[in-house]
Amino acid sequence: MDDQPGNSPLAEGISRMNSYWDKTGKYQADADALTCRVPASGDIKGQPKLERFRKASNAYYDLFNNAGFNRPQLITATFGRGLTSRARLGQWDIIKAQVEPIMDQIILDAIAEATGA
């Protein structure tokens, strides 16, 4: 099975528009640029917004790829309660409606930090 975002059988029911899961998020180009600045492993020191983006990206991936089984505490801390239960029930559009605006703001904050804005 292909392990790339957008190809999880778990998140099969998600609407395929305007989500970072299928690489069409509202600030996708910015998210891609930020991803290039994230190290392959380890925390990001001195850039708290980029570090938050790194953690949120990991939580987002786990939520949509594994229904949050690997990082439930990180998912809750980043996006709020109840998402892993909703994932197990296949309520992907409800999850998307909760998660995408939070991810948007995390991306905007990290871009502002990176550009000094």
As a dihedral over the C-alpha atoms of residue 16, residue 109, residue 76, residue 6, rounded to 10 degrees, the angle is 20
For the chain, the structural domain boundaries read 28-115
Indicate the pLDDT class of residue 17, thresholds 50, 70 and 90.
low
Indicate the pLDDT class of residue 2, thresholds 50, 70 and 90.
very low
Q: Quick: pLDDT tens for 23-66.
A: 999 999 999 999 999 988 889 999 999 999 999 999 999 999 99
> Would you give the distance in Å from CA 91 to the centre of its chain?
16
Distance, in Å, from the CA atom of 29 to the CA atom of 8, rounded to the nearest integer, reads 22
